[in-house]
Amino acid sequence: MPTNVNPTVRRRRLGQELRRLREIKGMTAEEVAERLLVSQSKISRLENGRRSISQRDVRDLCGVYEVEDHRIVDSLMQMAKDSRQQGWWHAFGDIPYSVYIGLETDAESLRVYEPQMVPGLLQTRSYAEALITGALPEAPPSEIEKRVNVRARRQDRVNAPDHPLRLWAVIDESALRRLVGGKQVMREQLEHLVEQSLLPHVTVQVLPFEMGAHPGINGQYAVLEFPDAADSSVVYIEGVTSDLYLEKANDVQRYSVMYEHLRAQALNADQTRLFIGEIAKSYTR
C-alpha cells in the first residue's frame, strides 16, 4: 500500500464526500451550479474526482450546503490541499491516462482482461517499446521513451517487496500470437509472462480461441479495488481519445460477474503456463 498521499484518490474521496453533503441537503447538481454561477459539468467533475478541487471550491460548496461543523470543513479543506499535490507520474509531463495511473498506484487489487496485448504491468521493456511505437506511428522517439519509462515505473507496484498489487490477468490467445517487435521480443515477453505468473500475488490465465464467444468479446477492461472501504471499486475502459470510469455499484457488479465468467472459461494457471510455453517455443523455431 503506498505511503505517500495519492492526489487522484484524495480527489475521489473528497468528491464522494461533497456529493454526500449535497444529497443530505436535498439539492441537485443543477441547483448547486446555479447558486455558484458555474456549469453543472463542473459540479459533476468535482464530485467524480475528474477535476482538481481548490480550497475555495470546498469553502463555497460548504457554504451552499450550510455545513456548520468547522471540523468537517477543515478536514475537507485539507483533503483539497492534499489532492492538489503531484503524484510521481507528473514528473514525466503530460500523460493522457494519468487518472488511471493514480488509481492503479493506490489500488490493492486489479483484475484485467486484455484481448489484444500483454497487460502493461506484465510487459518487458522491448515489447512495450515495440507496442507503443506501432500504436503511435507519428509520435517522436522522446514520446515513445517517456511512455515506456512510465510503464516500467508502474510495474513497481507488482514487484514491490511490501504490499504488492494483487494482479489477476485474463489474456486472449490473440495477444500471444500477435507478433510484436519480432520473434525474439515475443519469446522473451512470453517467458517473462510465465515468470511473473509464478509470483504468489499474480495470476495469469489464457482464454484460447477454441472457447469461441465469451463475455469479454467487446473489448478490454479492468476492475480496480482499494484497501480503504471508503473508496469504491472502479471499472476502467480504455478509449482512443477518452477513457471511461464506472463507479456505480451496479456497473461494477456487472463487470465483476463478467470477469468471473472469463476466469471460468479460461485455462487455469498451470495449463496457462504450459500453453504460453508452447507458443514461446514456436517463436524459437
pLDDT at 229: 67
Fill in the DSSP letter of residue 200.
T
| pLDDT score, position 46 | 85
Q: How far, in Å, CA of 273 to CA of 270, rounded?
A: 5
Q: Which three cell numbers stand for residue 201?
A: 500475488
User: What is the chain's Cα-based Rg?
Assistant: 21
Q: Please, which pLDDT band fits residue 3 given cuts at 50, 70 and 90?
A: very low
The strand ranges marked E within 54-107 are none
CA 7 to chain centre: 15
Q: Give the lowest-confidence range in 81-95, 98-112, 123-137.
A: 81-95
Could you give the residue ranges of the DSSP H alpha helices within 208-248?
none
Q: Residue 1 has what pLDDT? A: 37
Q: Report the top-level CATH class of 7-85.
A: mainly alpha
How many residues belong to the chain?
285
Please provide the average confidence, as pLDDT, over all residues in the chain.
89
Q: Contact 77/51 with Cβ under 8 angstroms?
A: no
Distance CA 183, CA 282 (A): 9
In this predicted model, what pLDDT tens digit does every residue of 167-225 receive, in sequence order? Answer: 999 999 999 999 999 999 999 999 999 999 999 999 999 999 999 888 888 889 999 99
The average pLDDT across 108-135 equals: 96
Nearest to 17 by CA among 201, 250, 232, 267: 232
pLDDT at residue 106 tops 90 = no
Residue 16 pLDDT > 90, yes or no?
Answer: no
Would you list the domain boundaries of the chain? 7-85, 89-282
CATH code of the domain occupying 89-282: 3.30.870
Element (H, E) at 171: strand 166-172
C-alpha span between 25 and 31 (Å, rounded): 11
Q: Decide if 158 contacts 165 (C-beta within 8 A).
A: yes
